[in-house]
Amino acid sequence: MLIEEKHKKKIENEKIIFQKKLYIQSYGCAMNFSDSEVVASILKKEGYAITNNSNEANLILINTCSIREKAEQTVRKRIKEFKKNKQSNRNLTIGILGCMAERLKSKFLEEEKLVDLVIGPDAYRDLPKLIKETNEGRKAVNVILSKEETYAGINPVRLNSNGVTAFVSITRGCDNMCSFCVVPFTRGRERSRDPQSILNEILTLNKSGYKEVTLLGQNVDSYLWFGGGAKKDFLKKNDKERQNHINFAKLLEMIAVNNKNMRIRFSTSNPQDMKNEVLKTIAKYHNICNYIHLPVQSGSSKILKLMNRGHSREWYLERIKTIYKHIPDCGLSSDFITGFCDETEEDHQLTLSLMEEVKYHFSYMFYYSERPNTYAQRKLKDNIPEKIKKRRLQEIIDLQHKHSLHRNKMCVGKIFEVLIEGDSKKSNKEFYGRTPQNTVVVFKKLNHQIGDFVNVKITDCTSATLIGKTI
Ligand code: SAH
Ligand code: F3S
């Protein structure tokens, strides 16, 4: 080898050795996965490359979830697994992001000695500064919540992407204060992102070949842009500022009109905020998917009141009727909690009967897990034994299973437009994609490609999946 070449090679090797490498892992909701993409973007500007191998990282970040106790236990277990990384690399920084960081603050550093850095969901722009502190041998914390931060203007780096579907966050925080929920404490007050920055992000995705976006927020229907700031400040604005506001229906319309070649989804809707104007907009535009995730939590108005949900059973069922009036083929899903404080067998039966009335396409189901500092933890008694919580949970899971199968059977013989997202899990001879109603479909690969829209005739199904062939 020539001397020059040798020298070049040496420099390259050094570059590899000294390159800053970030390993980032996310737990919990879609918002956390989306936030990690914002974090990756901030750190890419600082010269970090993303790695999927934690052994070669000099920065490990874990984006954490606090929603149930079990979610926190999973994160703590994962942190312990990084002990060997720390032993083999003295320069490794381990950072905790997200809801556990916000909930536990500097206590986290005392409880988990491996952790060097704790940063809450509104402080990610401060990461470069905090990493510098840890590199100088200090522990670093920033858990300040903001009334303004929406990370507008940051173009997220898409992590583990299929190149077809992406999340775009439109609101942050939550003002709803459901009595069981830790989110308002860990993610702060509700605020909406500048519509122009949302449109810009979607346009960039569109130009890069993406075909579907899911708009994210804890409560998307309460999206409200009036120039920035916490939602509560809207009332303080003058008439002109209020007149020019943009609500969720308007935002949806702007996105749909500007991106006719893309599908639009959103999550999550709250029953008390879901306006008819939104339903009309969904019905009006073919590219807004006919699917609504509308968590109910319980079928008993007594329990809904204790949960501070802002809607009763009757109100909820009226919303479902109105949804079907505007969008007859709408896909519906829900979240449920069993064994909330004071839930009797009758309350539980009301949940089962509500499920019978709606027959959701699918649901996310949990048993109640008391969370520190929530209203329920401070004022109500977690008085349903775990065994009963779990038995009730199993009953709603079994019923949901039946309903999913019923819904899927109704699809057999029908034709759906499906966006191809990738190879099916079971076979690389098959593709998988989703119907507008958000049900997974698998079908044999023919001349199509990932990212194509195809018409699929459904020939068979299980409770989780539709099986079909392209026509
Ligand atoms: N609005 C949010 C809700 C986030 S939490 C969204 O965008 O989806 C997701 C679900 O977790 C809730 O709907 C609820 O069913 C469940 N959940 C929240 N707190 C819980 C708790 N303390 N115990 C059990 N389940 C809980
Ligand atoms: Fe939690 Fe209720 Fe908001 S479930 S995220 S407080 S809508």
Task: For 159-218, write each residue's pLDDT tens digit.
Answer: 999 999 999 999 999 999 999 999 999 999 999 999 999 999 999 999 999 999 999 999
Point out the ligand 2 atom lying closest to the alpha carbon of residue 219. 7
Question: Cα–Cα distance between 88 and 53 in angstroms, integer?
Answer: 14
Residue to mutate (ligand 1; options 33, 169, 181, 369; most atoms within 8 A of CB): 181
pLDDT of amino acid 239: 81
Band (1; pLDDT cuts 50, 70, 90):
low
Per-residue model confidence as pLDDT tens digits over 239-258: 877 888 999 999 999 999 99
Ligand 1 pocket, residue 67 CB under 6 Å: yes
Band (10; pLDDT cuts 50, 70, 90):
low
| Identity of the residue numbered 438 | N
Q: Distance, CA 79 to ligand 1 centroid (Å)?
A: 24
Per-residue model confidence as pLDDT tens digits over 107-152: 999 999 999 999 999 999 999 999 999 999 999 999 999 999 999 9
Ligand 1 pocket, residue 365 CB under 6 Å: no
Ligand 2 pocket, residue 28 CB under 6 Å: no
pLDDT of amino acid 467: 98
pLDDT of amino acid 229: 81
Nearest CA, atom 2, ligand 1: 218
Nearest ligand atom owner, CA of 179: 2
Residue to mutate (ligand 2; options 99, 179, 181, 374; most atoms within 8 A of CB): 181
Question: Cα–Cα distance between 292 and 312 in angstroms, integer?
Answer: 18
Ligand 2 pocket, residue 222 CB under 6 Å: no
Question: Cα–Cα distance between 106 and 129 in angstroms, integer?
Answer: 17
Question: Cα–Cα distance between 458 and 356 in angstroms, integer?
Answer: 25
Per-residue model confidence as pLDDT tens digits over 127-136: 999 999 999 9
Band (288; pLDDT cuts 50, 70, 90):
very high
Ligand 1 pocket, residue 180 CB under 6 Å: yes
Nearest ligand atom owner, CA of 31: 1
- The 3-state DSSP class for residue 85 equals helix
Residue with tokens 């070669």: 56
Ligand 2 pocket, residue 181 CB under 6 Å: yes
Which spans in 45-182 are helix H? Answer: 69-81, 83-88, 98-104, 107-111, 127-135
Contacts of 242 (CB under 8 A, 6+ apart): 226, 234
pLDDT of amino acid 314: 98
pLDDT of amino acid 102: 98
Point out the ligand 1 atom lying closest to the alpha carbon of residue 295. 13
**How many residues does the structure list for the chain?**
471
User: Worst-scoring range by mean pLDDT, 76-90, 219-233, 448-462?
Assistant: 219-233
CA-angle at 32, arms to 438 and 88, nearest 5°: 125
- The 3-state DSSP class for residue 62 equals strand
Nearest to 250 by CA among 232, 271, 230, 226: 226
Ligand 1 pocket, residue 369 CB under 6 Å: yes
Nearest CA, atom 14, ligand 1: 335
Band (471; pLDDT cuts 50, 70, 90):
very high
Cis amide bond preceding 165, omega within 30: no
Band (11; pLDDT cuts 50, 70, 90):
low
Rounded to two decimals, what is the model's pTM? 0.94
- The 3-state DSSP class for residue 136 equals coil
pLDDT of amino acid 325: 98
Q: Distance, CA 178 to ligand 2 centroid (Å)?
A: 5
Which spans in 359-462 are helix H? Answer: 375-379, 386-411
DSSP 327: -
Nearest ligand atom owner, CA of 334: 1
* Token pair in block for residue 128: 């470069």
Ligand 2 pocket, residue 218 CB under 6 Å: yes
Residue to mutate (ligand 1; options 32, 216, 366, 378; most atoms within 8 A of CB): 366
**Which is it for the CA torsion 219, 225, 228, 234, positive or negative?**
negative
Domains in the chain (CATH in brackets) are 2-142 (3.40.50.12160), 165-409 (3.80.30.20), 415-470 (2.40.50.140)
Whether residue 8 is predicted with pLDDT greater than 90 in this model: the reply is no
User: Worst-scoring range by mean pLDDT, 95-104, 189-198, 225-234, 383-392?
Assistant: 225-234
- Mean pLDDT, range 417-429, rounded to an integer: 96
Whether residue 423 is predicted with pLDDT greater than 60 in this model: the reply is yes
State the CB neighbour count (10 A cutoff) for residue 235: 7
